[in-house]
Amino acid sequence: MDLELLRQKLASAHYIHDETLLTTLGVALELGRPLLIEGAAGVGKTEIAKVMAAALGRELVRLQCYEGLDESKALYEWNYQKQLLAIQIQKDNRDADALTASLFSDEYLLERPLLKSIRSDKPVVLLIDEIDKADEEFEAFLLELLSEMQVSIPEVGTIRAKTIPFVVLTSNRARPLSEALRRRCAYVYLTYPDLEKELAILREKLPHVDDRLAAQVAVAVQKLRANEAILKKPSIAETLDWASALEALGVRELTPDAMRKTAGFVLKNSEDLNVLEEDDAPGHEGCGCGGQCEGHHHG
């Protein structure tokens, strides 16, 4: 797929992107390279995999990583209950070796995301989400899949990919990833959008929201993220949630009262809500915006 066609498909999916990201996505797709995306939580890493699945017309297969994730949850598992039932039914009617061999066939194999993605008859987008939460041992296990597009199952042997998935790995940088993994991937680092891009996202995703309100929300979110006292910086998704909540209430101006009433859509813990209340207290300096963004009290 050439870059111009990919640009059109991303636009049809209402995804705001820059030229660097477009080029990286296009070349990684063309070369069949996995794409590693790093950045803080909430900058839109997972969204790229979803958008690429929509743009390419492919199924999205997602593996959510966590500490202790192993092959039985990520690659495959044998249907032990079905195997035991088969043993009970067939033990008197079949040769022991033949019965044993039959128990490790496709009929008893439960596909998990990694195996499903390479055995699919049609190419998929494989999202390996938050790889930094998985153990280093699991990361090492992934290398065979990422390098050779094949996996090894002891009872079956090597299974090679029927189709090549477009692999997207995301990381919040909770721990360093190995150089071996990085070498196998194209790389993108995402940051929170600047004001212009945030406003463009709001207008693209929520075109029905009043333009003045959208601009006020974008400015307010930028100030919340810049406030060092805010522990959990608002994500892009929370920006959209907040604007939607304000619009649902019929709000057309982000006043201090409107901000207080809807703060739970953009700030998600009590400490951050307390910061908002403190900044809104009488005598507080507020956001220092010179009255240009009424209701925004973070700076």
Whether 44 shows a pLDDT value over 60: the answer reads yes
User: So what's the pLDDT on residue 77?
Assistant: 86
pLDDT at 283: 42
Q: Are 139 and 178 in contact (CB under 8 A)?
A: yes
Is residue 190 within 8 A of residue 231, CB to CB? The reply is no
pLDDT of residue 285 exceeding 80, the answer is no
In whole angstroms, give the CA distance from residue 44 to residue 198. 12
Contact 108, 78 (CB under 8 A): yes
Q: Is the pLDDT of residue 290 over 60?
A: no
Q: Which residues contact 252 (CB under 8 A, 6 or more apart)?
A: 210, 212, 213
pLDDT at 298 over 50: no
Q: What is the mean pLDDT of the chain?
A: 88
* pLDDT at position 122 over 90: yes
User: Per-residue pLDDT averaged across 136-142, rounded?
Assistant: 91
Q: What is the mean pLDDT of residues 72-94?
A: 81
Q: Is 80 exceeded by the pLDDT of residue 73?
A: yes
**Confidence at 89, pLDDT banded by 50, 70, 90:** confident
Q: Residue count of the chain, please give it.
A: 299
What does the pLDDT read at residue 289? 37
What does the pLDDT read at residue 87?
Answer: 81
Quick check: 114 pLDDT over 60? yes
Integer Cα distance of 44 and 232 in angstroms: 15
Nearest to 141 by CA among 86, 75, 79, 202: 75
Could you give the C-alpha distances from 38 to 20, 78, 107, 220, 236, in angstroms and in order?
A: 15, 34, 38, 25, 15
pLDDT at 60 over 70: yes
Say if strands 186-189 and 35-38 run parallel, antiparallel, or are unpaired: parallel
Q: Is the pLDDT of residue 92 over 90?
A: no
Give me the percent of the chain exceeding a pLDDT of 70.
91
pTM (predicted TM-score): 0.83
* pLDDT score of 152: 83
- Hey, which residues does 168 pair with through a beta bridge? 35, 127
Q: What is the pLDDT of residue 292?
A: 37
Interatomic CA distance for residues 200 and 41, integer angstroms: 20
Q: For the segment 143-166, what is each residue's pLDDT rounded down to a tens digit? A: 988 988 988 888 778 889 999 999
